[in-house]
Structure 1
Amino acid sequence: MRDWLIQIRKEKKFTQQQVADGAHIDRAYYAQIESCTRNPSMTVASQIAGFLHVSTSLFFSEHISEPFVTALTNSPIIVAHCDLDLKYTWIFNSHPDFNIENVIGKRDDQLDINEGTTQLMNLKRAVIDSKSSVRREISFPLSDGLINYDVFGQPILNDSKQIIGVATVATELST
């Protein structure tokens, strides 16, 4: 099951039929995509992602290139994308406190409220407002203590060079 897809659809209060119509595909095909009995083509994944305002790469995250996965899995680096509403559209290698299925479609302040999440949201807003990269050190209170990250954010642009979101890379700093 693609639980993250079902969760996003339900949070947006869409039926399978509404998503299928919005993506211009058959509802039965969409149901098979949700249940993982069929994988969408890049075009169909893009149509569904566009309708739901998430990253197309979510459909193919299990197929990320091996060198990328090998280099970053269990590393002190978190990579993420969010939309202009600061809702996560993709995340890789998140801290164990956060499950991808609970993160996608949510803002940081919907996951936890603390000084770190406030600073992270401010960084993302600064990237959107300035349309340029921003870098800050941010501390987060997590289950394994206060963790400091070097967070780098940069705009995500569409083909027309309009900002559509923010990409962040957070590197855990040694204490």
Structure 2
Amino acid sequence: MNKRTWLIKLRKRKKMTQQEVASKAFIERSYYAQIENGIRKPSSEVTVKLGEVLDFHASSFNLEENPFSIALKNAPVVLAHCDTQLRYTWIFNTPDLIPDEHIGKTDVELNDNEGNRSLMRLKQEVLDKNSPINRVISISLTTGTVSYQVYAHPLLNEEGTIIGVATASTEINTYTPTDEINKHL
């Protein structure tokens, strides 16, 4: 198993040591270090505790080994979780950046463009209304502009409190990159 760099980034964003996380989750530091290094998979109880300490949804651990991830790896689908500040806590299958570059950042911190601002507005609306929403959003990538059908819904913890937003974005239309358009003018 690979090192869980997304988990390390979340811990560092909170400016916590492994010992601090382990203490707040009521586990041994060595066990937590093994979890971060991908040596051990935490129990569902520990996963929930770590999610509470580091502000992520417990399903992030289940998604990393999900058999659907193999089927989705080359599909035009992006799955993600963000916290209530709209900072990514987990992402899968992002087309433009290394997934770990997303962790702890908002969409506009990654790339400030109208598509990413629209995506953030959608997520904020989900948080404000505590209701699922879907919308078509076009996002500028290095390869051109891509339209996604974005399905966003509140991400809840075990007590039913909103802790973020989960999104599933399916590519529905890829526009010709700007350079290609200019060639034809």
TM, length-normalised to structure 1: 0.87
Show the counterpart of 1:69: 69
Segment drifting more, 41-50 vs 12-21: 41-50
Bigger Cα displacement from structure 2, 110-119 vs 81-90: 81-90
1:46-61 equivalence runs, <5 A: 46-61=48-63
8 A contact 1:57–1:90 mirrored in 2: no
* Mapping for residues 89-168 of structure 1, pairs under 5 Å: 89-95=89-95, 97-168=96-167
**Offset at residue 58 of structure 1 (A):** 2.7
2:90 maps to a residue whose letter is: W
1:30-41 alignment runs, 5 A limit: 30-41=32-43
Which shifted more, 31-40 or 134-143? 31-40
Q: Which residue of 2 aligns with 1:12?
A: 14
Moved over 4 A (4+): none
TM score, norm. by length of structure 2 = 0.83
Whole-Å Cα distance in 1 between the matches of residues 158 and 56 of structure 2? 16
Q: Offset of 1:160 from its aligned partner?
A: 4.3
The answer to whether the Cα contact below 8 Å between 2:86 and 2:120 also exists between their aligned partners in 1 is yes
Task: Write the letter of the residue equivalent to 2:115.
Answer: G
Counterpart of 2:97 in structure 1: which amino acid?
Answer: F
What's the CA shift for 1:60? 3.4
Q: Partners of 2:132 and 2:71 in 1: how far apart?
A: 24
Structure of larger gyration radius = 2
Counterpart-to-counterpart distance in 2, 1:161 and 1:39? 24
The Cα of 1:70 is off from its aligned counterpart by: 4.2
Decide whether the 8 Å contact of 1:157 with 1:165 is kept in 2: yes
Which residue does the alignment assign to 1:85?
A: 85
**What is the one-letter code of the residue matched to 2:118?**
Q
CA distance in 1, matches of 2:149, 2:78: 10
C-alpha change, 1:156 and 1:5, in structure 2 (3 Å) is closer
Instruction: Kindly tell me the number of residue pairs found equivalent between the two proteins.
Output: 172
CA RMSD of superposed structures (Å): 1.8
2:23 to 15, 21, 24: 21
- Partner amino acid for 1:84? T
Q: Structure 2: where are the runs of 5+ without partners?
A: 175-185
